Amino acid sequence: MMWIWGSIAFPFTIAREEALWKDETWRLELLVSGMDPTILNWVRDQKYIFLYGGDDIEWIRKFTNNAKAMASAARIPLEMAYVGKSKKRENVRRAIATINVEKLSYFWEDTSVIWYFWTRLESMLYSKIQLKRADDQDIIMIQIKKLLSYDKDGSWALLCKGSNILTNGHGSTMLQTPADFDLWKEHIPSRGFDLSFKDYHDKLHVAANNCCRFEFPIGAGRIPEGMRCPECHRLMEKHIAFLCCHDKTGLLETY
């Protein structure tokens, strides 16, 4: 509760946790909280905003360049922010260095902010599991599970208009949608940019039929009995994995 809401979560009871979630909606401020005034300024200015993550440098180059070209052609105010990955800190540092040198997008220079972003998302998942909201009826839970799953699989992006989150998806579909701008721009005069982008991307997303996966450390002690896939809503299979990782994945030392 502290990671998600800070001191307003006091007195940290289940009743308080329930009340705080009742007042929340799926919006960009929930994800970035007060950790970045720059992004909050973009929200107030009602700009289009891409949050994106991963550590594939080539994907980052292609995605940011395609997104800039799309924004220029559509004449929309677009900003982009790189939020890294929950793990693989050295890869994230290399990606940040490339983004900085090539001026690809805005990024969090202080990598502890990246750690905080992903820790908050994981805390939201655990909070929802504790409150038994791990099903396909909770919109916020579904979207949190998607982002955490995308992070495990590789690159991803999330598009907002101000506070409103329009859509999110895997790197492949989010890369292709702006690249295919000429194929769906004809719908903008009648449906607007927001719906035109979302409709085209979501069609690609459904066709891709991507799988989701989650990893719960045994020591965390908060492994749910069952989980539904946030994409197809089927009950997911449970497996046991043994991982050897030389990239530290602890808490404060992660970044």
Other Cβ atoms less than 10 A from the Cβ of 5: the count is 19
Which amino acid, residue 181?
F
Q: Are 84 and 35 in contact (CB under 8 A)?
A: no
And the tokens for 51?
Answer: 């949050």
Pairing mode of beta strands 164-170, 156-161? antiparallel
pLDDT for the residue numbered 78 = 97
And the tokens for 67?
Answer: 């997104």
Phi then psi for residue 53, to 5 deg, are: -145, 175
pLDDT for the residue numbered 120 = 92
Residue whose token pair is 């749910």: 224
Q: What is the mean pLDDT of each run of 10 residues along the chain (255 residues)?
A: 88 90 92 90 96 95 97 96 90 94 94 91 88 74 89 90 94 95 95 95 83 62 66 66 55 40
Q: Are 46 and 161 in contact (CB under 8 A)?
A: yes
Q: Are 52 and 21 in contact (CB under 8 A)?
A: no
Q: Which of 4, 34, 35 is nearest to 20 (CA)?
A: 4
131 CB burial (10 A radius; 0-12, 13-18, 19+): middle
pTM beyond 0.75: the answer is yes
pLDDT for the residue numbered 249 = 43
Cis before 11 (ω within 30) = yes
CA dist., res. 47 & res. 26, Å (int): 17
pLDDT for the residue numbered 194 = 96
pLDDT for the residue numbered 128 = 86
Which amino acid, residue 53?
G
| DSSP result, 49-102 | EEEEE-S-HHHHHHHHHHHHHHHHHHT--EEEEE---SS-HHHHHHHHHHHHHH
Residue 53 carries which DSSP code? E
